[in-house]
Amino acid sequence: MSATDIRDSDSPAIARGFRLQWEPAQSAHVLLYPEGMVKLNGSAGEILRRCDGVATLAEIVSDLEGAFSRSGLRADVVAFLTLAAERGWVAFRGRDEQAGAIGDGGE
């Protein structure tokens, strides 16, 4: 998937087999997948926790802009989601149901 592929009306969701959660011991959001873990930085965590398969890209962007009193975040969000989709962390409802569930990263 390339950056131009993600549309405002798309609703990203955490892909099958992955789980996002807040880890107090690491003070970070982490993404868990079979036998592995990615520790996310602050903005990645904030984006991913809004990927519930319902909210659209446009809604996620405006929600983030509201929460952090910033504007012009769309490009950053799209860039991150593009990367996340390439790694198989997120899938887009109805578009790429078969995005990989087994991560590459981790150990």
Least Å from the CB of residue 88 to other proteins: 10
Binding site for other proteins (CB under 8 A): 16-17, 19, 21, 23-27, 30, 32-37, 100-102, 107
Residue 29 backbone dihedrals phi, psi, to 5 degrees:
-75, 140
Residue that is written with structure tokens 């880890």 in the block: 23
Least Å from the CB of residue 71 to other proteins: 28
Name which of 16 and 74 has its Cβ closer to other proteins.
16
Residue that is written with structure tokens 């504007």 in the block: 71
Name which of 4 and 25 has its Cβ closer to other proteins.
25
Least Å from the CB of residue 12 to other proteins: 19
Instruction: Using alpha carbons, select from 58, 59, 47, 54 the residue that is nearest to residue 85.
Output: 47
Name which of 13 and 58 has its Cβ closer to other proteins.
13
Instruction: Using alpha carbons, select from 15, 99, 1, 12 the residue that is nearest to residue 47.
Output: 12
